A and B are shown apart, each in its own frame.
Chain A
């Protein structure tokens, strides 16, 4: 094999890691500033102009902090767990297309690390492995609060993975492919979020649970579990957990943008104009970045406004509401596509968004009446 191909792969992987690491550092600043604004505070603004050097100051602080390993921990697993948490969050991004392609030194450079024909399955398999880091961290700490956090997180992630898979199935059905590039190109005319808005909504809710973000951050509920699975970790090891959480947020937003919001492609109404990705390749990463920043803002917004959900309600919500809902959505999507193709009638295709929004409304009514009954004391 040509050595330049190897060089290209290594460079692309390296650059992707750099992007994610920088993204992590500045996402923490973004979150703190945005949260501060919503709570009528100022936020970190001392290090550098507008606090832009704050991530660097944080990193230096964490590196020089004392790294303390409690004496009764299972050493090997205790050290392995943060690594097992960070690595999946980094390699998850390998199949996500960041843009189309461009020419450099007479060769075509594509803006993704790997073009896998089962790219979507790769995402689900790596996401399903990501739970190990948290579970093992909780177990190896030999501390009952950490252990409870680990057990909670594993139960939560397994439960929500089913709905996540079904939402991904919706994107696969609409894109007629498991390759993420094909899925992005299938959204040239219309985003999948327009055809299946309910699917995109459920996907965003489920991913919040998968990355353990508020309001589903049960594994680290401070009031109940001190700090959950990372209670015994300090210094750089703690920083790795922190890093994994924020990188997962970025990557999950990239996945959501790719599956439902057109990926690196322009808005559908900008097609054929000067702002099209087909005209200038460098617009691809910019569009993706914009979409990711907006989606991240929604995640931060939710954290700022919603209280943490109770644990049994979390499980009930996952199994009794989200799973049936996503099953119905997948069924509606498949039936609509099939009928539109067989009967050659686009009306069936456009019944997908209508029917799925009705389904979501029914689910909301169901939750509402259930909660109201419970508030009258009959649990």
Chain B
């Protein structure tokens, strides 16, 4: 348990600093790379919590597919170096207030809901067994079948929509 705490603290440090790096990089490609690092750190968090399936899907889907597309678009548009845009006058104070509220909220939740030495405890039964994968699939395809199907249809509609928007009709001039 003790070594888990150390790993957790180091990982959180990496996660937070990569998130900050993502926000403050001037170059869009560096931002994207920091975000990839952040996703991978989160995947290691899942591993720490005994959920290897979710960790691997996190890497495949977010770091492997979505961020590659992001990078692809950034490079294709040549939008690496964005000019500093003008911010609205009331944007900054509002952002500070909202950030403060978020911090207070999360600290309150952590203190009220969990004891500090408990909140990274992993469910031992699911650790490194094939069962948690099977169980997850069973729940997903029995109990939550309808939400799952609705999500799939939503994604399909989004995909068809994107193709229709970009498709050039036959005989239509550019």
Q: Which residues of A contact B (CB under 8 A)?
A: 74, 77, 116-118, 121-122, 124-129, 131-132, 135-136, 138-139, 147, 150-151, 154-155, 157-158, 161, 177-179
Q: Take A77-B29, A117-B130, A151-B76 as given contacts and tell me if A158 and B65 are in contact as well, using a CB distance cutoff of 8 Å.
A: yes
Of B6-14, B50-58, B100-108, B139-147, which stretch is located at the interface? B50-58
Q: Does residue B133 face the partner (Cβ distance < 8 Å to A)?
A: yes
Judging by beta carbons under 8 Å apart, are A118 and B52 in contact?
A: yes
Contacts of B152 in A (CB 8 A): none
Judging by beta carbons under 8 Å apart, are B64 and A177 in contact?
A: no
Q: State which of A77, A129, A147, A179 has its C-beta within 8 Å of the C-beta of B64.
A: A129
By beta carbon, the residue of chain B nearest A126 is B59
Q: Take A117-B130, A118-B133, A128-B65 as given contacts and tell me if A151 and B75 are in contact as well, using a CB distance cutoff of 8 Å.
A: yes
Q: Does residue B36 face the partner (Cβ distance < 8 Å to A)?
A: yes
* 9 pairs of A and B residues whose beta carbons are closest in the complex: A128-B64, A121-B56, A125-B59, A125-B60, A125-B56, A118-B52, A117-B130, A128-B60, A154-B72
Q: Take A118-B133, A121-B57, A151-B72 as given contacts and tell me if A139 and B52 are in contact as well, using a CB distance cutoff of 8 Å.
A: no
Q: Does residue B69 face the partner (Cβ distance < 8 Å to A)?
A: yes
Chain A nearest Cβ from B110, distance in angstroms: 30
In the bound assembly, the distance between CA atoms of A288 and B58 in angstroms comes to: 31
Judging by beta carbons under 8 Å apart, are B72 and A128 in contact?
A: no
Contacts of A77 in B (CB 8 A): 29-30, 33
What number of B residues sit within 8 Å (CB to CB) of A?
A: 23
Contacts of A179 in B (CB 8 A): 130
Judging by beta carbons under 8 Å apart, are A135 and B68 in contact?
A: yes
Contacts of A151 in B (CB 8 A): 72, 75-76
| Majority secondary structure of chain B interface residues (helix, strand, loop or mixed) | helix
Judging by beta carbons under 8 Å apart, are A132 and B59 in contact?
A: no
Judging by beta carbons under 8 Å apart, are A129 and B71 in contact?
A: no
Judging by beta carbons under 8 Å apart, are B128 and A117 in contact?
A: yes
Chain A nearest Cβ from B166, distance in angstroms: 14
Could you write out 20 A-B pairs with CB less than 8 Å apart?
A117-B52, A118-B52, A118-B56, A121-B52, A121-B53, A121-B57, A122-B56, A124-B56, A128-B59, A128-B60, A132-B68, A135-B68, A135-B71, A136-B33, A138-B75, A139-B71, A139-B75, A151-B72, A151-B76, A154-B72
14 further interface pairs, Cβ-Cβ under 8 Å (given A124-B56, A127-B64, A139-B71): A117-B128, A118-B133, A121-B60, A125-B56, A125-B60, A126-B59, A128-B60, A128-B64, A131-B68, A132-B36, A136-B29, A136-B33, A161-B65, A178-B133
In the bound assembly, the distance between CA atoms of A150 and B60 in angstroms comes to: 20
Chain B nearest Cβ from A275, distance in angstroms: 31
Contacts of B76 in A (CB 8 A): 151
Q: Take A128-B60, A177-B130 as given contacts and tell me if A158 and B69 are in contact as well, using a CB distance cutoff of 8 Å.
A: yes
In the bound assembly, the distance between CA atoms of A354 and B30 in angstroms comes to: 50
Contacts of B59 in A (CB 8 A): 125-126, 128-129
Chain A nearest Cβ from B156, distance in angstroms: 14
In the bound assembly, the distance between CA atoms of A117 and B64 in angstroms comes to: 20
In the bound assembly, the distance between CA atoms of A132 and B30 in angstroms comes to: 13
Judging by beta carbons under 8 Å apart, are A128 and B53 in contact?
A: no
Contacts of A131 in B (CB 8 A): 64, 68
Q: State which of B53, B71, B128 has its C-beta within 8 Å of the C-beta of A154.
A: B71
Q: Take A132-B36, A178-B133 as given contacts and tell me if A116 and B52 are in contact as well, using a CB distance cutoff of 8 Å.
A: yes
In the bound assembly, the distance between CA atoms of A121 and B43 in angstroms comes to: 13
Judging by beta carbons under 8 Å apart, are B53 and A155 in contact?
A: no
Judging by beta carbons under 8 Å apart, are A128 and B133 in contact?
A: no
Chain B nearest Cβ from A118, distance in angstroms: 5
Chain B nearest Cβ from A321, distance in angstroms: 18
Contacts of A117 in B (CB 8 A): 52, 128-130, 133
Judging by beta carbons under 8 Å apart, are B68 and A154 in contact?
A: yes
Q: Does residue B63 face the partner (Cβ distance < 8 Å to A)?
A: yes
In the bound assembly, the distance between CA atoms of A161 and B64 in angstroms comes to: 10
- Chain A proximity mask over B100-132: 1 for CB below 8 Å, otherwise 0: 000000000000000000000000000011100
Judging by beta carbons under 8 Å apart, are A118 and B53 in contact?
A: yes
Contacts of B63 in A (CB 8 A): 125, 128-129
In the bound assembly, the distance between CA atoms of A268 and B130 in angstroms comes to: 27
Which has the most chain A C-beta neighbours within 10 Å: B65, B75, B129?
B75
In the bound assembly, the distance between CA atoms of A125 and B57 in angstroms comes to: 7
**Which residues in window 1-59 of B have CB below 8 A to A?**
29-30, 33, 36, 52-53, 56-57, 59
Chain B nearest Cβ from A96, distance in angstroms: 16
By beta carbon, the residue of chain A nearest B29 is A139
Chain B nearest Cβ from A142, distance in angstroms: 10
